[in-house]
Structure 1
Amino acid sequence: MSEHRSRARHRRGSKLLAAGLPLALAAAGMVVYGAGSDGGGTAQAAAVTAPAAPAWATATADGFASVNALGQNGTYGGRDGRTVTVRTQADLEKYATAAEPYVVVVAGTITMDPVGKEIEVASDKTIVGAGTSGHIVGGGFFLGRGVHNVIIRNLTIRDAYQGVWNDKEHDFDAVQMDGAHHVWIDHNDLRNMADGLIDVRKDSTYVTVSWNRLSRNNKTFGIGWTENVTTDITIHHNWFRETEQRNPSTDNAAHAHLYNNYLEDVAGTDITSSYGNYARGGTRMVLENSYFRGVNNPVIKDQTATVVQRGNVFSGTSGRNESGGTAFDPTSYYAYTLDAAADVPALLTAQAGPRSAIGTTTAAAKAAAAGTLTVARDGTGQYRTVQAAVNAVPANNPSRVVISIKPGTYRETVKVPSNKPHVTFQGTGGSRKDTVIVFDNAAGTPKPDGSGTYGTSGSATVAVEADDFQARNLTISNDFDERAHQSLTGHQAVALRTAADKVLLDGVIVEGDQDTLLLDTAAKDRLGRVYVTGSYVVGNVDFIFGRATAVIDRSVITLKKRWDGTSAGYVTAPSTAANRKGILITDSTVNGDVSDRTFHLGRPWHAGGDASLDPQTTVRNTTLSAAIRTAPWTDMSGFSWKDDRFAEYRNTGPGAGPASGDRPHLTDAQAADQEVTDWLAGWTPSAS
């Protein structure tokens, strides 16, 4: 193979701020860093010497990443160094960029600040998620020229998406390589980024990408960006789902070996495949025993590229499916074993993505399993309904119970009562759209026992009354049909109601029409903090409302038309108690397929005519579409918004506007007291 000849170009620097999300992880031989360390990352406790490192800490790559070349004997990451556990962006960056080898365990969710931040990984590193808990949100990793012997494994890297599908402004990748070699990307869940999930660029070579889930993305996996025919890459056992293009696109790859991958274009979703595997330029590709379902143009090649196909399955595909020329024999470089193509969909849906046994000790994995209940409609779990699993949680449970929900649509109402804290709803599909909890009660829907109607709060599909609740990677919906029930009084239809403290919604969709997301508290004098991150909230009238102290951070708020096709609505309707924080929307996007200047950002809800309330909404550092009115706040039920607390700060987009009497802006000094930490008041949301 030729040496690297292109000159790596690095992107501009970014400022650093971390939001650490800790996970208890007592692993022999690990040093734990993060929330309790000093500013220099001093260890909280001395390292404990273990008789042997776990297998995942010494794992080595297969495929082209295993080949001895360029002075590197295979790819084994940081196995010769210490194992450290990190919980913050600062500590992750410290050890990922260090000159020494490290095995860096990511324990919990790390939200990148600024959005799009890519940590510059140095050679001889293993970066691995602790079980299924290791999440990198809003950013990723960059491997520059000459960086080698790197493993990125068992992580969920997600949600740098900025609301623009074919985004030309935000080059935010999950993993980008510019001139790196000997890299293994394995068992990750990569999704919803602003640009590529994986970019193997500028003569990067000896790369293996295996057992990953790649989903909800446009330009998914690009290889090339050079005229040199240099890259050697193995891509096997990856599940591509709801991805439009570059699945992958392989440009001038000397040897591209693709086998046992599953490319799936899901019918009825808002993402349609443009093409599947693409060989361009001087690429020589061997494509074996992969499964293509519903994909448009599943295999395409340029006239100058060669593609050899063997044993692939094409189900419901259309368009170009091409091969031709001679390529190479992969067994000349490494040994490998093919699975039958017919087995690939079941194999990958079960085994691709993060695994609970990677990144944890045996004791930690067993403890985690003991606190997990599984739900599956088809009977393959412990329970068929989510409510049945909630019912099985012990009253006053002292520790976290994860309700792991397999993909499917669960048409039911669910209530988590106040005596069942520390519950997590975890969707296990490749997309948050795979696992859906939905029902269609409205405020005016008669109860089956004849005791009246449900009322607004009682209409919720999911009602959470227990503290320390979490939901991840799923959709909660109310699909009440207003058009079909015009005679019904009370069209408010809540998807999710929270009436608890320390509620974390991470990577979810909450969708409905009127009154979608009710953020309440257990009582007027009780604090109820809610943190929503990396999520979508969809609705039209007062669809984020209530008296909770709530943060919507790095999320997309999607405006919908009314049932009759008209555009008119209100994003928020806070009913905040005096001397409390209300609703904070920050670093997010407000958009939707609605008419310009038809939506207010909010109005004051004095529930029950209570004049003592002091409703508050602050929208800051957020991109506003042209749907937002030039006077974004309005009155409600005889109460003037000007008597309450409504303000903006440094918003952008066509819906933003200068300060005026109808559009108050915070001063810099005021904004300094209206940050996320001010809202959360000492609580650090922790994915666990």
Structure 2
Amino acid sequence: MESSSLSSLLLFHVCFFLCLAPPLLATSSVVNANTSSNTNTTKHNHIWIGPIGHRLITVDIKGSGHFRSVQDAVDAVPENNRKNVLIQISPGNYVEKVVVPETKPYITFQGGGRESTFVEWHDRACDRGANGQQLRTYRTASVTVYANYFSARNISFKNTAPAPKPGMQGWQAVAFRISGDKAYFSGCGFYGAQDTLCDDAGRHYFKQCYIEGSIDFIFGNGRSMYKDCEVHSIATRFGSIGAHDRNRADEKTGFAFVNCTVTGTGPIYVGRAMGQYSRIVYAYTYFDDLVAHGGWDDWGHVNNNNKTVFFGVYKCWGPGAATVSRDRELDFETAHPFLAKSFVNGRHWIAPSDA
């Protein structure tokens, strides 16, 4: 390639990445990726600690990029990374298990399209790891992210383990686990059956994503907003969408679904109280005719009777909305905190054009 052409290509990639990179708050606070960001202990003294510089890494399964493997590209990012790193992943099926450690923040996975770029693996909770012990749910993830300031665009993540039949144990199979803070997803797909998306800990924003599963297929103790997403059930006998694991009244965690569509097969619960203080809100969301009687499940917490969980609905519609809304309809004042990106403190780290 001639030098002038190479320079033009590099300039294009740098400009392209600048458009993708999320804005970062000028502050000295950093949240540990292995803990939830739900306390108020963060101190802000306005010292810039954000990334400096940019780096492009290309991945192509056919060999025309810097690497053939997504994990190899992640491994090429140095520990304690201080650059915005764009990992550009060409269309293809990348059959591998990927981990982004907490020492590698500011990484973006940019795929070639949700329907053409896939990272997939097949672990189940009952499978055994290298140490001979069962993996259990959280370690089954095809992709696990512990790092802060991770983002993904136009790419899909799968766990291809077969869907469990009713009553089968140990078949939880996570496609993606996000345990870092301030993570952003746009135009992504998440495919699995039981426990597809582990929304584990931290603040997260999902925009125009597709999430598919059967049982508790969005679960964890994240503080997350799902905006303009399609949530699709493949339940064959009985299923559930969200299982939130908030366990204290002072935690700021919860799942907020805004302007989403709920489709597929049922019957399904739209929310379950994985934790004693589970918090899930649906607003301006369409529900197909697949909602189970009662709509919600308190997970059998003794003496709970839904007194400590917070399940709410605001101006939802569709043939299944009446079942979801029964005794759960919120007024504007109560619903308002869950309707905007401020729910995840998004004005500090999500560009207005991305919200």
Question: Which bracket does the TM-score occupy, shorter chain normalised?
Answer: 0.7 to 0.9
Q: 1:619 aligns with which of 266, 274, 282?
A: 282
* 2:189 pairs with one of 471, 491, 509: 509
Q: Which of 545, 566, 571 pairs up with 2:241?
A: 571
Aligned to 1:584: 256
Contact 2:105 2:147 in 1 (8 A): yes
The answer to whether 1:543 aligns with 2:217 is: yes
Output the CA distance in 1 between the equivalents of 2:241 and 2:254: 14
3-state secondary structure, aligned to 2:86: strand
Q: How far apart are residue 482 of structure 1 and its match? A: 4.0
After TM superposition, list the pairs within 5 Å mapping 1:53-452 onto structure 2.
Answer: 131=16, 371-428=55-112, 431-447=113-129, 449-452=130-133
Residue 328 of structure 2 aligns with an amino acid whose one-letter code is: P
Deviation of the 1:499 alpha carbon: 0.6
1:556 matched residue in structure 2 = 230
Q: State the Cα distance separating 1:134 from its structure 2 match.
A: 5.4
Q: Aligned partners of 2:62 and 2:324: how far apart in 1?
A: 55
1:542 to 1:511, Cα distance in 2 relative to 1, 3 A: same
SS at match of 1:501: coil
Post-superposition offset of 1:664: 1.1
Contact 1:591 1:624 in 2 (8 A): yes
CA contact (8 A) 1:631 1:663 kept: no
The residue aligned with 2:204 is 530
Which of 260, 264, 268 matches 1:599? 268
Question: Aligned in 2, Cα 1:659/1:600: closer, same or farther, shift over 3 Å?
Answer: closer
SS across alignment from 1:541: coil
Conserved? CA contact 1:444–1:488, under 8 Å: no
Residues 201-260 of structure 1: per-residue CA shift (max 9 Å, x gap): xxxxxxxxxxxxxxxxxxxxxxxxxxxxxxxxxxxxxxxxxxxxxxxxxxxxxxxxxxxx
> Any stretches of 5+ residues in structure 2 without a counterpart?
1-7, 9-14, 21-51
The amino acid across from 1:495 in the alignment is A
CA–CA distance in structure 2, aligned partners of residues 626 and 567 of structure 1: 15
Count residues with an aligned counterpart: 304
Contact 2:294 2:324 in 1 (8 A): no
Cα deviation per residue 1:404-458 (whole Å; 9 max; x = unaligned)? 1111101111000000000000113xx31111000000111111x2430111000
Q: Distance in 2 between matches of 1:492 and 1:458?
A: 10
Code of the residue aligned with 2:240 in structure 1: it is Y
Q: Which amino acid aligns with 1:619?
A: Y
CA distance 1:619–1:453, shift in 2 (3 Å): same
| Residue identity in the other structure for 1:433 | E
Q: Structure 1 residue 131: deviation in Å?
A: 2.8
Offset at residue 635 of structure 1 (A) = 2.1
Q: Report the AA paired with residue 84 of structure 2.
A: R
Measure the CA separation in 2 of the matches of 1:664 and 1:487. Answer: 30
- In the alignment, structure 1 segments of 5+ residues that lack a partner are 1-54, 56-129, 136-366, 522-527, 607-612
Q: More relative contact order in 1 or in 2 (CA 8 Å, sep 6+)? A: 2
Query: Are the aligned partners of 1:420 and 1:466 in contact in 2 as well (CA < 8 Å)?
Result: yes
AA matched with 2:58: T
Deviation at 1:663, TM superposition (A): 3.2
Q: Which residue of 2 aligns with 1:278?
A: none
Please report how far the alpha carbon of residue 534 of structure 1 lies from its aligned counterpart in structure 2 after TM superposition: 0.9
Q: In the aligned structure 1, how far is the partner of 2:166 from the partner of 2:98?
A: 26
TM-score (norm 2): 0.80
Structural RMSD (CA): 2.5
- Of the three residues 452, 468, 478, the one matched with 2:149 is 468
Structure 2 counterpart of 1:670? 334
Amino acid at match of 2:96: E
**Residue 137 (structure 2) pairs with residue 456 (structure 1):** yes
Could you say which structure has the higher helix fraction? 2
Structure-1 residue corresponding to 2:295 = 632
8 Å contact from structure 2 (residues 270, 324) kept in 1 = no
Change (3 A) 1:487 1:588: closer
